[in-house]
Amino acid sequence: MTLSPLRSLSTTLALTVASGVLVGLTQSPASAAWSTVTNVHGAKLQTCRTANGAAVRLRVNNWQGKHAHRGGLFRKRGGKTVYYGVVAQKGRLSPTRQMPVQAGDSLGTLVGEINGPAAGGGVPLSMIPRC
């Protein structure tokens, strides 16, 4: 079956609009409900929990920073501590990382200089908003 050019254009537009609507329904890390948990010198460690609550996303928003910064989360579970970190260059947003979590985990934050001092503290998992 051959479609007329006008009908073909209508079909293409309808599919494009439909795919755009479907893409708009999924939430990307860029549109997540990020919460700033620690900040130093204009760099902000931001976090949010995945929709199912099984992981915490983290990034460093360094748009106002005058130099590069590092940031991350510590997770303590059963006596073992694991660190997930990211680095953001001056005026940039770091890549996003995802740290698996479960009820009972103890979380700590860190944001600071690349090779120097940092600030941070504990953050309850319940205080991190859903993405």
Q: Check: CB of residue 28 under 8 Å from CB of residue 20.
A: no
Query: In the chain, what are the domains?
Result: 29-127 (2.60.40)
Residue ranges of the chain with per-residue pLDDT less than 50: 6, 8-27
Query: Coil, helix or strand for 56?
Result: strand
Q: Check: CB of residue 105 under 8 Å from CB of residue 84.
A: no
Which residues touch 42 (CB under 8 Å, ≥6 apart)?
Answer: 62, 63, 64, 65, 66
- State pTM to two decimals: 0.74
Q: Check: CB of residue 73 under 8 Å from CB of residue 108.
A: yes
CA–CA distance, 95 with 28 (Å, rounded to integer): 13
- Res 56: pLDDT: 97
